Chains A and B, each alone.
Chain A
Amino acid sequence: MFEYRFYECTPGRLAEEVARMKEVAIDPWPGGGGESLFDRFGIPRPLGAWTSIAGRQQPVFGYILKWDSLDARDRAFPPFWTCPEWAEVRTRTDDGHPLVDSIEDWLLAPNAAWKRTGEIDATRHGGVHEMRIHRCLAGFGPQVTAYLAEIEHRQIEVLGGRILGVFDVAIGPDMPAIVSFVAWPDFPTQQRAAERLDMEPRVRERHRQWRDEYGRSPIRSVEQTLLRPLDYGLPLSNFGLSS
């Protein structure tokens, strides 16, 4: 199971939030023998960490964690939240006013459209990332999954993007929804691809078939958030997971 946590930051304080996360999750904790504070509590390193460039609830800082057990997760995180070290970091970095306005925490499960083929290498993906949320009509998850696997994700790769991961929202608002993370080399490539994707004959053909068959599209809406991967959270291909 994957946990996607995103923090609505107080305007003007995103950089401080990013630095605070690095201090507790990544940097060796003083006297910790090279371990970070997260490491000490058994909280895994983020598979990816981002700030958002465009999308709703600006500014946003988010990261994704992988857990083998959610019960283990609930033995690891709460002791961290109440430890004196975190209290000290939090008070110091809040500096009189909270850095975060609210937190949202979704649980994501791998979706069947996530093929995890291609080389599993040590490449870390920078550039511009995009989180695409396809909100589906209830009962039409399989149709949207098939469309993503057969058409949209292929086109994205032809147009220069890399699919990092594809997930069903397992716990969260406004379900059913499918989340795809895409890495683009740069912003102009993403822009050009967005335009081309909309005109792509196979995309249009699938929409026409859907209209004929169901009278409407099984996709209720697509939400696109542009993300900037952080130096300490550059995702590996397929988030480092093999098939």
Chain B
Amino acid sequence: MMDAPQDYYELRIYRCLPGRLPDLHHRMGYELPHLFARHGVARPLAYWDGYAGAFSPIYCYIQRWQSLDERFRAFGGFYADPEWIEQRDASNCGEQMIDRLDLMLLKPSPHWAALKTPGEAQPVGGIHELRLQRLSTRNAAEAHRVLAEVDLPYLRDRGATILGLFMVWYGWKTPHAVILLAWPDIGTREAAMDALDADPAIQTLRKAERETFGGPLLGTADSHLMRPAPYGIAHNNLAPQP
């Protein structure tokens, strides 16, 4: 029996040591790509650093995999490669760049397709935002739907580009939605978020959700504002880098 290829996204959030971001950019953008390619490690779809959020500085990248067995094989080969070890030690210059790492595996939300940007794949500039959105345990499927049918279209109508919408598969509390957005500028983002918060129609809907489901569908979110790295700016719908 042939199985349809699965779709996984791997999101890495590194907490960096102060002062080492430029070295980390150099490693990720220029030192690693050929080593990743050698071992079949998926080429990242986008790289960022973060400049506001629950902890900073952060450095982030996302990859797409069709098989987790393949993912572990590829990274296993990469980590064992003497050239990686040599390069890592050389560019670390005796000190680490990374403090710690949150690593999660995601599956695309079934609602992402309806939110995709039409047209050619092209880099999306501006300010990007990573949101880790807690959802109601009892009604997780409903919460995913409301997020995709109410909140995200509302933000899109006010200037956001939806880069990706995922559900946590491994490595983080579930149920949780992971959202990647792009904003043309910080003012647009502020105005859109304020509008969502203050809109009487949304407030009425939230009240109805609480009454129907015995509590809020959407919980709190951790938000990181991020800057796309020039060597790997996210394309719309996280299309592969050319």
Chain B nearest CB: distance from A11 CB in Å? 14
Stretch at the interface among A28-36, A124-132, A167-175, A199-207: A167-175
Chain A nearest CB: distance from B54 CB in Å? 12
Q: Which residues of B contact A98 (CB under 8 A)?
A: 137-138
Check A137 for interface membership: any CB of B closer than 8 A. yes
Chain B nearest CB: distance from A54 CB in Å? 20
Q: Establish whether residues B92 and A71, one from each chain, have CB atoms under 8 Å apart when the complex forms.
A: no
Chain A nearest CB: distance from B97 CB in Å? 8
Residues of B17-47 contacting chain A, CB below 8 A: none
Chain B nearest CB: distance from A172 CB in Å? 5
Chain B nearest CB: distance from A57 CB in Å? 9
Contact flag A70-B99 (CB < 8 Å), given A104-B173, A105-B174, A139-B92:
no
Check A1 for interface membership: any CB of B closer than 8 A. yes
Q: Establish whether residues B100 and A220, one from each chain, have CB atoms under 8 Å apart when the complex forms.
A: yes
Q: Establish whether residues B101 and A175, one from each chain, have CB atoms under 8 Å apart when the complex forms.
A: yes
Residues of A171-211 contacting chain B, CB below 8 A: 171-176
Q: Which residues of B contact A135 (CB under 8 A)?
A: 100
Chain B nearest CB: distance from A63 CB in Å? 15
What is the total number of residues of chain A having a CB less than 8 Å from a CB of chain B? 31
The distance in angstroms between the C-alpha atoms of A207 and B137, with both chains bound, is 43
Q: Establish whether residues A138 and B67, one from each chain, have CB atoms under 8 Å apart when the complex forms.
A: no
Q: Which residues of A contact B171 (CB under 8 A)?
A: 105-107, 171-173
Check A212 for interface membership: any CB of B closer than 8 A. no
| B172 contact from A75, A100, A104, Cβ within 8 A | A104
* In the complex, per-residue mask of B61-87: 1 if CB is within 8 Å of any chain A CB, else 0: 000000111001000000000000000
Q: Establish whether residues B100 and A175, one from each chain, have CB atoms under 8 Å apart when the complex forms.
A: yes
Q: Establish whether residues B98 and A101, one from each chain, have CB atoms under 8 Å apart when the complex forms.
A: no
The distance in angstroms between the C-alpha atoms of A175 and B105, with both chains bound, is 14
Q: Which residues of B contact A175 (CB under 8 A)?
A: 100-103
The distance in angstroms between the C-alpha atoms of A71 and B65, with both chains bound, is 11
Q: Which residues of A contact B53 (CB under 8 A)?
A: none
Check A102 for interface membership: any CB of B closer than 8 A. yes
Check B170 for interface membership: any CB of A closer than 8 A. yes
Q: Establish whether residues B172 and A174, one from each chain, have CB atoms under 8 Å apart when the complex forms.
A: no
The distance in angstroms between the C-alpha atoms of A176 and B98, with both chains bound, is 10
Q: Which residues of B contact A139 (CB under 8 A)?
A: 88, 92, 96, 98
Q: Which residue of B lies closest to A74 (CB)?
A: B6
Q: Establish whether residues A138 and B137, one from each chain, have CB atoms under 8 Å apart when the complex forms.
A: no
Check A69 for interface membership: any CB of B closer than 8 A. yes
The 9 closest A-B pairs by CB, nearest first: A70-B68, A138-B98, A171-B171, A175-B101, A102-B173, A98-B138, A171-B170, A173-B102, A172-B171
A-B CB contact pairs (8 Å), 16 listed: A69-B69, A70-B72, A71-B67, A74-B68, A100-B137, A104-B174, A105-B169, A107-B171, A138-B98, A138-B100, A171-B170, A172-B102, A172-B103, A172-B170, A173-B172, A220-B100
Interface residues of A (CB under 8 A from B): 1, 69-71, 73-75, 94, 97-98, 100-107, 109, 135, 137-139, 170-176, 220
